[in-house]
């Protein structure tokens, strides 16, 4: 296992190098350089431009430029943003990263869970009305035009019903006197959510293990789960963070909802196909013949095996769900990596755009890495020698 992890880590670092190189040369291949920005300014003479080129090191060979770029990149010096001059790109990106992380993680967990449950159910009821209805609705959202879907969601829930805020990720009036920065609150939210998630998983796992869990253990499980949530919320309230957490959560609901709508169908359809294959296996028939309840056969026997291919595809779809997330961020003015990237690209802020692109790549690489390890843990058939069979 350790060898596998280190092997993957080596591959990840290599891929990262290639990725950053590609991003660098891609942007080099674009027409013009930084001095072109001054070309249209008649007050700056040719000689001054040459001087500037020298200062910026643009008179050196492409290879030398590349080497110094890579050196700076791994030192965390990504240059200075043009549009938010003189803020360093690194600082801007570090500020935005947690927001994208929270949104991306929450939306992916939700859409994966919704897709998993729906896929399980519609595969079990194949050919029934619910199967067709869920498939058609799912495909429609899956292929929906994201920006427009985001606008429709905003219009319905924020503009007409006024349930939730329109956009942004915090309410500035509330936060002007806040004792924390938004990112501190974000960090604590991630911890809290992790504790609640893992806690609830274990509570339900231990108390509802048997074939027919009694009503008492069911009640116990729910009570314990509620108690855990209450305890976490109590800690947050003691720290005086609760109101800020609520504010961020309120702002998060719509983007997460939109992303879930867009993404759940992918998992759902895969889960359906994978389930259809699994239910034909002999051991599922054996479980049925034993007289196990239908739900137990579905959830404990078929769905667990069917989950594996779905996890593989989750790994493959991370990049596209990132793309969707970035569009969603832009539509909801969620100030994360995606919105920064789009704004930077559209305002020709090259250092920021390059940095954001590189950061997105690193972010995805780490996500890939974690998903790979997760997959290896889930599927004991994977050999840890670095080769994954196929």
Partner 1 sequence: MNELVPTHETGPASLAEPIWKIRWKLTRRSLRQNWEIFKESRIGMLGIILIIAFGIFGAMWPIMINTVWDPMVYDPVVGFDPMMMHPSPPSGTHLLGTDPIGRDILAQLMHSTGREFLLGVLSALITVVIGTAVGTAAAYYGGLIDTFFMRIADIILLFPFIPLLVVVGAMVKLSFLPFAIIMGVLGGFGGITIILKAQALSVSVRPYIDAARVAGGSNFHIIVSHIIPNVLPLSFLYMMFSVTSAILSEATLSFFGVLNIDMSWGMMIHTADVAGYLFDFARYWWLWAPAGLAITLFCAAFYMVGRGLDEVVNPRLRKR
136 touches partner 1 (CB under 8 A): yes
SS3 content of the chain, % helix, strand, coil (to 5): 75, 0, 25
**Which structure tokens are listed for 13?**
């670092």
Contact stretch for partner 1 (CB under 8 A) within 76-84, 108-116, 189-197, 270-278: 270-278
Q: Which of 31, 45, 172, 380 lies at the binding interface for partner 1 (CB under 8 A)?
A: 31
Query: Phi/psi class of residue 349: alpha, beta or left (left: φ > 0; alpha: ψ in -120 to 50)?
Result: beta
Number of chain positions touching partner 1 (CB under 8 A): 56
| Paired tokens of 251 | 């702002």
Rounded CA separation 160/171 (Å):
19
- Report in angstroms how near the CB of residue 365 gets to partner 1 at its nearest: 6
Instruction: Evaluate the omega torsion of the peptide bond into residue 182 and state whether it is cis, within 30 degrees of 0.
Output: no
Please give the structure tokens belonging to residue 84.
């938010």
State the minimum distance, in angstroms, from the CB of residue 249 to partner 1. 25
Q: Which is nearer to partner 1, 236 or 265 (CB)?
A: 265
Among 338, 351, 355, 376, which residue sits at the site for partner 1 (rule: CB under 8 A)? Answer: 338
Q: Is residue 289 close enough to count as binding partner 1 by CB under 8 A?
A: no
Q: Which residues contact 190 (CB under 8 A, 6 or more apart)?
A: 98, 101, 102, 105
Cα separation, 318 vs 338, whole angstroms: 14
Which position has the token pair 């729910």? 222
* The only residue of 67, 316, 374, 377 in contact with partner 1, by rule CB under 8 A: 316
Q: Which of 33, 273, 299, 379 binds partner 1 (CB under 8 A)?
A: 273
Whichever of 188 and 274 has its CB closer to partner 1, that residue is 274
Identify whether the C-beta of residue 271 lies closer than 8 Å to the C-beta of residue 306: yes
Smallest gap, in angstroms, from Cβ of residue 23 to partner 1? Answer: 8
Part in contact with partner 1 (CB under 8 A); list of ranges 174-182, 191-199, 202-210, 352-360: 352-360
Spatial CB neighbours of 196, under 8 Å, sequence gap ≥ 6:
228, 229, 232
Counting every residue, how long is the chain? 390
Work out whether 333 is an interface residue with partner 1 (CB under 8 A): no
The answer to whether 375 contacts partner 1 (rule: CB under 8 A) is: no
Q: CA nearest 371: which of 108, 118, 192?
A: 108
Nearer to partner 1, 241 or 314 (CB): 314
As measured in angstroms, the least distance from the Cβ of 317 to partner 1 is: 9
Nearest to 252 by CA among 336, 137, 134: 336
Chain positions contacting partner 1, by CB under 8 A = 15, 18-19, 22, 26-27, 30-32, 126-127, 132, 135-136, 139-140, 142-148, 151-152, 155, 159, 269, 273, 276-277, 280, 316, 319-320, 322-323, 326-327, 330, 338, 341-342, 345-346, 348, 353-354, 356-357, 360-361, 364-365, 368, 390
């Amino acid at each position: 296992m350790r060898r596998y992890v280190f092997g993957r880590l080596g591959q990840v670092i290599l891929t990262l190098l290639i990725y950053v190189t590609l991003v660098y040369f891609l942007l080099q291949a674009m027409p013009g350089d930084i001095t072109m920005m001054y070309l249209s300014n008649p007050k700056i003479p040719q000689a001054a431009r040459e001087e500037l080129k020298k200062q910026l090191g643009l008179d050196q060979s492409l290879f030398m430029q590349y080497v110094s770029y890579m050196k700076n990149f791994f030192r965390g010096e990504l240059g200075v943003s043009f549009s938010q001059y003189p803020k360093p790109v690194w600082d801007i990106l570090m500020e935005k990263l947690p927001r994208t992380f929270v949104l991306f993680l929450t939306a992916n967990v939700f859409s994966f869970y919704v897709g998993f449950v729906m896929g399980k159910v519609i595969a079990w009821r194949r050919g029934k009305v619910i199967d067709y209805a869920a498939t058609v609705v799912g495909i429609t959202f899956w292929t929906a035009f994201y920006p427009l879907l985001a606008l429709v969601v905003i219009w319905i829930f924020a503009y007409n019903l006024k349930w939730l805020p329109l956009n942004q990720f915090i309410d500035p009036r509330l936060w002007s006197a806040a004792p924390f920065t938004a990112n501190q609150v974000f960090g604590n939210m991630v911890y809290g959510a992790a504790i609640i998630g893992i806690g609830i998983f274990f509570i339900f796992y231990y108390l509802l293990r048997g074939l027919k869990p009694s009503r008492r253990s069911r009640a116990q499980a729910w009570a314990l789960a509620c108690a855990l949530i209450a305890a976490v919320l109590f800690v947050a309230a003691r720290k005086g963070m609760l109101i800020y957490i609520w504010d961020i959560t309120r702002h998060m609901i719509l983007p997460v909802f939109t992303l879930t709508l867009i993404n759940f169908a992918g998992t759902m359809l895969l889960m359906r196909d994978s389930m259809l294959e699994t239910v034909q296996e002999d051991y599922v028939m054996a479980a049925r013949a034993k007289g196990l309840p239908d739900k137990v056969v579905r959830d404990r026997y078929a769905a667990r095996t069917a989950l594996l291919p779905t996890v593989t595809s989750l790994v493959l779809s991370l990049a596209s769900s990132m793309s969707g997330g970035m569009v969603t961020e832009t539509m909801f003015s969620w100030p994360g990596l995606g919105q920064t990237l789009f704004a930077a690209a559209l305002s020709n802020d090259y250092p920021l755009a390059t940095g954001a692109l590189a950061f997105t790549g690193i972010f995805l690489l780490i996500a890939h890495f974690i998903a790979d390890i997760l997959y290896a843990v889930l599927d004991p058939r994977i050999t840890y020698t670095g080769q994954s069979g196929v």
